[in-house]
Amino acid sequence: MKTVVFDLDGTLADTSGDLISAANACFRDMGAGDMLDPATDAGTALRGGRAMLRLGIERMGKPSDDPLIDEYYDALLYHYARDIDTHTRLYDGAMDAVTELKARGYIVAVCTNKPEGLARTLLTQLGVLDAFAAMLGADTLPVRKPDPEHLFETVRRAGGNPAQCVLVGDTATDRDTSKAAGVASILVTFGPAGGDMAGLAPEALLNKYSDLPDLVEQLLGKV
């Protein structure tokens, strides 16, 4: 079966606001106040917890390898889990596109570098977890994106054929994953790093979700 695999943060949903809130809670615990701006640091938020901690700590005048990054990582996850969907929203048309893809016979799944427990909680809170045939997180396997096995195992667990899938994402990590897997990628242009996606030379760019089903058919063919 042909499968469409979605990244989560920055692809299906804009999670940056809640991620930055969690990081700022850590910086306040350090006595430094809010170090990240939701409006300008969203791109960093979608690169993960350590990237946010590193940026804030650098702004505090500390080195980028300061042990505070590891020391506060679990605290960041705690703060994030506590308020995981306060600001988060699904991108316009995302679930309509998922519904249409399923109607056309494609399997849909999620492959994310967010810890699995947090990803499941978020998708459940958003009311969409059951829409996907499989969902693998950063700690589901011993490897994660850009290792292609993370993508392949997501497709297998969804009931699909790893050789017949496409990855929808929003970062260089997603593009590197698709290259390593030898499959096509579709990168979204509406996330925080959307302006940089063309430079990664994906097989397709997605400007709005209503275009996704036809793009998938162009890349994978009809089911």
When pLDDT is cut at 50, 70 and 90, the band that residue 46 belongs to is: confident
Whether residue 9 is found in the same domain as residue 22: no
Residues 107, 213, single domain; the answer is: yes
Q: How confident is the model at residue 180 (pLDDT cuts 50, 70, 90)?
A: very high
What pLDDT is attached to residue 85? 95
Percent of the chain with pLDDT over 70: 100
pLDDT at position 29 over 90: yes
For residues 158 and 203, membership in a common domain is answered with yes
pLDDT band at 127 (very low <50, low <70, confident <90, very high): very high
* Per-residue pLDDT tens digits for 73-91: 999 999 999 999 999 999 9
pLDDT tens track for 201-215: 999 999 999 999 999
DSSP assignment of the chain, as one string?
--EEEE-SBTTTEE-HHHHHHHHHHHHHHTT------TTT-HHHHTT-HHHHHHHHHHHTT--TT-THHHHHHHHHHHHHHHTTTSS-EEPTTHHHHHHHHHHTT-EEEEE-SS-HHHHHHHHHHTT-GGGSS-EE-TTTSS--TTSHHHHHHHHHHHT--TTSEEEEESSHHHHHHHHHHT-EEEEESSSTTGGGSGGG--SEEESSGGGHHHHHHHHH---
Instruction: Name the domain boundary from 57, 82, 107.
Output: 82
User: 216 near 69, Cβ under 8 Å?
Assistant: no
Among the three residues 82, 115, 138, which one is the final residue of a domain in this structure? 82
- pLDDT digit string, tens, across residues 135-165: 999 999 999 999 999 999 999 999 999 999 9
Of 26, 51, 82, the residue that ends a domain is: 82
Residue 194's pLDDT is 72
Alpha carbon distances (Å) from 210 to 14, 70, 78, 100, 206: 17, 40, 35, 9, 9
In the structure, what pLDDT confidence band is assigned to residue 193 with cuts at 50, 70 and 90?
confident
Print the domain residue range for 55.
16-82
Residue 27 phi, psi dihedral angles, 5° rounding: -65, -35
42, 101: one domain: no
Closest CA to 30 of 76, 65, 64, 86: 76
Token pair of 204 as six digits: 């397709």
Q: Are residues 64 and 99 in the same domain?
A: no
The total number of structural domains in the chain stands at 2
Confidence (pLDDT) at 83? 94
- How far apart, in whole angstroms, are the C-alpha atoms of residue 165 and residue 150? 13
| Residue positions annotated with a catalytic role | 7
- Look over the chain and give the mean of its residue pLDDT values, rounded to a whole number: 96
